[in-house]
Amino acid sequence: MQRVADLDTPVMVVDLDVLEGNIKRLQDDIDSLGLASRPHIKTHKIPNIGQMQLKAGATGITCQKLGEAEVFADAGFEDILVPYNIVGPSKLERLTRLARRAHLTVAVDSEVTARGVAEASQEAGTNVDLLVEVDSGGHRAGVQTAQEAQTLARKIADFPGVTFGGFMCYPSRPPMGDLFAEARDLLQRDGVPVTTVSGGGTGAQRVSKETGCTEHRSGTYIYNDLSVLRSGKCTIDQCAMSVLVTVVSTSCPGYSTIDGGSKTFTSDALRRDDSNGYVRECPDVYLERMNEEHGVLSLSKLPAGAPRPQVGEKLHVVPNHACGTTNLHDVVYGYRRRGGEEVVEVEWPIPARGKIR
């Protein structure tokens, strides 16, 4: 029997009961809305967990980069959405190789990108479904108006090697309802059917439903994190993932220092308040600062007389950003609480970690 408490630190650990609860709760909710569920694997990057999501009822998965899609196709996943503009000969060649062994859908937001996918796919004798990405306010990608969506969709519908599927946005936001409806109407008049509208964002499945989406992409829900907690979309008990760390120094007055910093948790701020991490064993202590290998726990909110974390003590820290944290770790241990102990049940490598291309 391997105990979490005996693992060398810092190390990422996942409570499997909480993980399974998160999968079921999301799938039930999406089912009740009548949407398809297409979870985003960026949060866990582990095919075994993706299989759990499919088994629960997901219709396919979402991968942000081709390198992630390649890992999951290798593991047998057959229906993959890449909601990302694929640009350049090397990636287009990889895309068509993937399209030979999986049903691939890709989002594009420009004619030049759509044409690149179409030409590569035609030359390779494959077919790729294309969605038009629409900007829902993030201003990082996506066409701006229903008219732009219509124009690009009509071009895609005429390209060989690709099939126009519909629209995609991230995250789902209420104003998208009118835009999607208008773009649908315009394309209906053009005789171009819209079969898929893909919305996304942890906790945003109801917004996806209300804005006319047919499917919803959710990523962080699988683990949850402080960012989701602060947005009110989970409880601390629904945070499945934490990083086990060890206190290595108490020499600086007012602080206890742990052996994990930005190289363990990322510096991703997201919805940060004054803390970069929630310490399960001692919630009054907060992760005030990080360097690469040091995390500095402030004791300033610790009630008078309460014990401070001591050198050698191990703590579970729930990070700000689960997805970024996953990307820094090569392995995660799955455990269950049994009789007051956290017992390791599985050790998963994270094969889609670091797939930036």
Task: Please report whether residue 249 would count as binding its own copies according to CB under 8 A.
Answer: yes
Looking at beta carbons only, is 44 or 209 nearer to its own copies?
44
Query: Which residues have a Cβ under 8 Å from the Cβ of 139 and sit 6 or more positions away?
Result: none
Nearest-approach distance from CB 180 to its own copies, in angstroms: 17
Q: x-or-dash pattern for its own copies, window 152-191, by CB under 8 A? A: ----------------------------------------
Nearest-approach distance from CB 314 to its own copies, in angstroms: 8
Nearest-approach distance from CB 148 to its own copies, in angstroms: 8
Looking at beta carbons only, is 45 or 184 nearer to its own copies?
45
Task: Determine which residue in the list 33, 54, 75, 87 makes contact with its own copies, applying CB under 8 A.
Answer: 87
Task: Please report whether residue 289 would count as binding its own copies according to CB under 8 A.
Answer: yes
Task: Please report whether residue 145 would count as binding its own copies according to CB under 8 A.
Answer: no
Task: Please report whether residue 3 would count as binding its own copies according to CB under 8 A.
Answer: no
Looking at beta carbons only, is 195 or 249 nearer to its own copies?
249
Report CA 5 to chain centroid distance, whole Å.
Answer: 28
Looking at beta carbons only, is 210 or 293 nearer to its own copies?
293
Say if residue 106 is exposed, middle or buried (CB neighbours under 10 Å; 0-12, 13-18, 19+): buried
Task: Please report whether residue 222 would count as binding its own copies according to CB under 8 A.
Answer: no
Q: How far apart are CA 36 and CA 217, in angstroms?
A: 9
Q: Is residue 49 within 8 Å of residue 228, measured between CB atoms?
A: no
Stretch that binds its own copies, among 3-11, 72-80, 210-218, 229-237 (CB under 8 A): 3-11
The number of C-alpha atoms within 13 Å of 331 and in the hemisphere containing its C-beta is 11
Q: In the range 105-124, which residues lie near its own copies by CB under 8 A?
A: 109-110, 112-113
Looking at beta carbons only, is 49 or 322 nearer to its own copies?
322
Say if residue 157 is exposed, middle or buried (CB neighbours under 10 Å; 0-12, 13-18, 19+): middle
Task: Please report whether residue 323 would count as binding its own copies according to CB under 8 A.
Answer: yes
Task: Determine which residue in the list 140, 189, 305, 340 makes contact with its own copies, applying CB under 8 A.
Answer: 140
Q: Is residue 296 within 8 Å of residue 333, measured between CB atoms?
A: no
Tokens of 55: 């088994």
Query: Which residues have a Cβ under 8 Å from the Cβ of 206 and sit 6 or more positions away?
Result: 33
Q: In the range 290-309, which residues lie near its own copies by CB under 8 A?
A: 291-294, 296
Task: Please report whether residue 247 would count as binding its own copies according to CB under 8 A.
Answer: yes
Stretch that binds its own copies, among 139-147, 186-194, 207-215, 225-233 (CB under 8 A): 139-147
According to DSSP, the β-strands at 295-298 and 286-290 are antiparallel
Task: Please report whether residue 329 would count as binding its own copies according to CB under 8 A.
Answer: yes
Tokens of 53: 């999501």
According to DSSP, the β-strands at 277-279 and 255-258 are unpaired
Stretch that binds its own copies, among 5-13, 31-39, 278-286, 337-345 (CB under 8 A): 5-13
Torsion sign, CA atoms 140, 144, 149, 151: negative
Nearest-approach distance from CB 256 to its own copies, in angstroms: 10
Looking at beta carbons only, is 187 or 287 nearer to its own copies?
287
Task: Please report whether residue 127 would count as binding its own copies according to CB under 8 A.
Answer: no
Query: Given the rule CB under 8 A, which residues bind its own copies?
Result: 8-11, 42, 64-65, 84-85, 87-88, 90-91, 109-110, 112-113, 133, 135, 138-144, 148, 246-255, 257, 259-260, 262-264, 266-269, 289, 291-294, 296, 311-312, 323-324, 327-330, 354, 356-357
